[in-house]
C-alpha cells in the first residue's frame, strides 16, 4: 500500500528542467505557535451563511489537526456546533464573548471585533 501512495506523491510537484532536482521527501508542515504567541481575532458574522449566525476565530497558526482540536474543545465547552473551514474556526451562534473568555483562559491573546 505504501508504494501506491509513493508514486502519487511524486506526481504532486511541477516539472523541473534542473538535472539535479530531487523532490522533498517530507511535505512541509504548517508552523505551530504556542497559545501565548498567537493573536486570535474573534468576530461575529451572519452574512453569506444562509441566515445563520456564527462566531469566527481568525488568525490561528498551526496544523489543521490542532485547529480541529481547538474547535472541538470550544464546541464542547459552549454546547454548540461548529467546524473548521478555509483556515477559520466557525462556532454556531453569537457567543463571541464566551469564546473569547475561553481562549483567554487557555492562554491565547484575543481581540474581540464587531
Q: What is the pLDDT of residues 57-75, one digit of tens each?
A: 999 999 999 999 999 999 9
Residue-level pLDDT at 23:
63
pLDDT mean across residues, the chain: 84
Q: What would the grid cell of residue 40 be? A: 486570535
No. of helices (H) and no. of strands (E), the chain: 3, 5
What are the C-alpha distances in Å from 54 to residues 23, 51, 98, 113?
41, 10, 13, 13
The residue among 103 and 24 whose pLDDT is bigger is 103
Q: Domains for the chain: give ranges and CATH numbers.
A: 30-112 (3.30.780.10)
Q: Specify the residue for cell string 491565547.
A: 108
Task: Give the pLDDT band of residue 26 (cuts 50, 70, 90).
Answer: low
**In the predicted model, is pLDDT for residue 11 greater than 80?**
no
Summarize the chain as % helix, strand, coil (round to 5): 30, 20, 45
Task: Give the pLDDT band of residue 99 (cuts 50, 70, 90).
Answer: very high
Amino acid at each position: 500500500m505504501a508504494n501506491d501512495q509513493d508514486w502519487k506523491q511524486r506526481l504532486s510537484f511541477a516539472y523541473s528542467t534542473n538535472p539535479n532536482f530531487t523532490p522533498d521527501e517530507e511535505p512541509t508542515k504548517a508552523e505551530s505557535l504556542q497559545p501565548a504567541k498567537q493573536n486570535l481575532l474573534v468576530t461575529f458574522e451572519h452574512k453569506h451563511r444562509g441566515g445563520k449566525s456564527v462566531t469566527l476565530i481568525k488568525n490561528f497558526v498551526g496544523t489543521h489537526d490542532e485547529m480541529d482540536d481547538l474547535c472541538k474543545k470550544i464546541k464542547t465547552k459552549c454546547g454548540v456546533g461548529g467546524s473548521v473551514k478555509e483556515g477559520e474556526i466557525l462556532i454556531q451562534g453569537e457567543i463571541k464573548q464566551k469564546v473569547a473568555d475561553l481562549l483567554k483562559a487557555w492562554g491565547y491573546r484575543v481581540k474581540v471585533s464587531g
